[in-house]
Structure 1
């Protein structure tokens, strides 16, 4: 057996994982590239809600390409990794791009909190937003610098063939530092990640409470006025709703007065009737009033909820992206922490277990791949531009054939 055979034997059982990584690269680059093209080229009108999306998409492309390519190199060249310098650079770039994505999500959460919960405070200017993005990349770069000194090329020897006087020496990319230094760095990353998740959670809890209170305010106003305000008033105050409904209330009051007079005249006319008939009539009137209130609430609920989702769709969108990021990134942090505690022996497990651990370890890349699909689900304008682009592409592909037929 030579080094090539040894490397092929070690990499063979990771073919399934390699296929997933290649899929990550293809879908991630295409999806985030489409996001960049549409938000930067097709949407000429700049929106405050969409400002950070192109920056997040650019980070996602880098994370997909660098993270997946580095993981493929580790899978395909487990004992033939090409050089110490490449190992250090790829580790650093992979870490920096991932941390940048998480830090930018933290910035976006704070921005959404200011916009939804503190709408009358000073908004972020274009200069502030650019400085925030630059600061995000700078902080992530500084946090990733230790990886340059913690990881590098490691010499590995195949002990199995020593008895046959055949010694195979290979090289892989891994931890070259004191295990205590790696453990300290991974604990720091864990604390940083937990702190970030706590801040994200607090911001989005306040955002959710604000949205919920405005929805309940709208429902309360409908119950009090027995009329249906316009859907856009679901984000207004009760006083605004009442002020804008003054023109409707006199008609409703006059109608109630006329109805009251009718019932009064009817009662006078039927005063000699039995008391049981009067009680039945009152019950019917009460039931009619309840049914009318329920119909008003039902008719008001659908347009109000539709406008409510449209108005707050970007808050829901970034909430979803953040939840996916936390779920995808948490296994990587835990496995890195366990690896720094138990060392190389942590990976001395059956092949099926290693395949599962590898998938969880690289699950963070999936977060950068699915973000374009989340944009498409929440942003109707983005969906429209994608459909328009695809329809033009189909027409363009059919046009040469039609010319040939002529």
Structure 2
């Protein structure tokens, strides 16, 4: 932000920026309201599924997404509420590092899911990822996530200093910033390269898988295979669609973040209108959508998940209505008791 031309205190500047960031604040609150229960439902429902590799990976992704919504979204809200007055560097480093860990860990789980599906289709006779050895691949993804997030926690995430007139200095725990140190640029360049590489690999894998599924479907229609024989393929295709959709959400939600990093170098935020600045900050946090949208993906492509989710929601609504009825009945009983007691006292 550029230097202000009027005399303000830091608290007044902070209040002013909060007003400008009201829309991103509502955006984050909405994501929290959707993401926290949504990912909790995913964990509860998939726990009831038959144990397999997909179930194991989805449960791990759900845990990361739930933790991200529970920690990452409040952290971003805190960044907004104390935009110029974020004082503790260690808190900024640790929480930003935890977000990076969640991003890296879930990314490698998605890659693992794609590789598993690819090997099933194109290398069916070779050794496969199974329920016994998948834990080792998950552990490797965990270690890679920790290793890639460690630089952020250890040294890389400083507080960005913003100088105003009258020797007023604000401190920001920034998502992206223009005048970042050299080592931060190298780190971001590495992560950006990793993102592009994984996006290309996922595009290639699911492109080949999609083509294979289409060829199989044409062949099956010509052979007029029975529906009983088609059921296993239907289940397999459904899991492929889910894996593809989750990966697509990952790419589309993180792409604006990397675009914003480049725009930050070219655009001066102080020159933006309040609406443009708010949109800029929403796009800066588009990556959070990746950790909120997955329950919608499962509900869209998995009819069994959708059915179980409706049962849970109906049960919650039923229990809520029953509690309201019991409370109303209790209130009426209390009124009746009070009136009866009053009548008795009057008669006395």
Aligned match of 2:318: 395
TM-score norm. by structure 1 comes to 0.72
Q: Contact 1:38 / 1:382 at 8 angstroms: preserved in 2?
A: yes
Aligned match of 1:326: 251
Task: Return the match for 1:22 from 29, 33, 42.
Answer: 29
Distance 1:116 1:232 in 2: 20
Aligned match of 1:37: 44
Distance 2:178 2:236 in 1: 51
Aligned match of 2:338: none
Q: CA RMSD in A?
A: 2.5
The equivalences for 1:93-242 within 5 A come to 93-148=98-153, 149-159=155-165, 162=166, 167-174=167-174, 179-222=181-224, 229-234=225-230
The 1:187–1:154 alpha-carbon spacing in structure 2 relative to 1, beyond 3 Å, is: closer
Deviations 1:37-96 (A, max 9, x none): 1222xx163234322111111111122233322221221111111311111112111111
Q: Contact 1:87 / 1:153 at 8 angstroms: preserved in 2?
A: yes
Distance 1:346 1:91 in 2: 24
The equivalences for 1:44-83 within 5 A come to 45-83=50-88
Aligned match of 1:352: 275
Structure 1 unaligned runs (5+)?
Answer: 223-228, 236-306
Distance 1:133 1:55 in 2: 9
Q: Which has the larger radius of gyration?
A: 1
Distance 1:373 1:178 in 2: 36
SS in 2 for 1:21: helix
Distance 2:245 2:42 in 1: 17
Cα deviation, residue 337, structure 1: 4.1
Higher-RCO chain (CA-CA 8 Å, sequence separation at least 6): 2
Deviations 1:194-221 (A, max 9, x none): 1111211121122112212211222333
The 1:234–1:176 alpha-carbon spacing in structure 2 relative to 1, beyond 3 Å, is: closer
Deviations 1:111-143 (A, max 9, x none): 111223333332323342111112112112211
Cα deviation, residue 308, structure 1: 5.5
SS in 2 for 1:170: strand
The 1:114–1:19 alpha-carbon spacing in structure 2 relative to 1, beyond 3 Å, is: same
The equivalences for 1:210-359 within 5 A come to 210-222=212-224, 229-234=225-230, 309-339=234-264, 341=265, 346-350=268-272, 351-359=274-282
Distance 1:208 1:396 in 2: 43
Structure 2 unaligned runs (5+)?
Answer: 1-7, 334-348
Deviations 1:333-372 (A, max 9, x none): 2222444x55xx6433313322222111111111211100
Q: How many residues align?
A: 318
Distance 1:58 1:98 in 2: 12
SS in 2 for 1:124: coil
Q: Contact 1:81 / 1:172 at 8 angstroms: preserved in 2?
A: yes
Cα deviation, residue 326, structure 1: 0.5
Deviations 1:145-182 (A, max 9, x none): 222322223443322xx3xxxx4333222469963222
Distance 1:76 1:117 in 2: 51
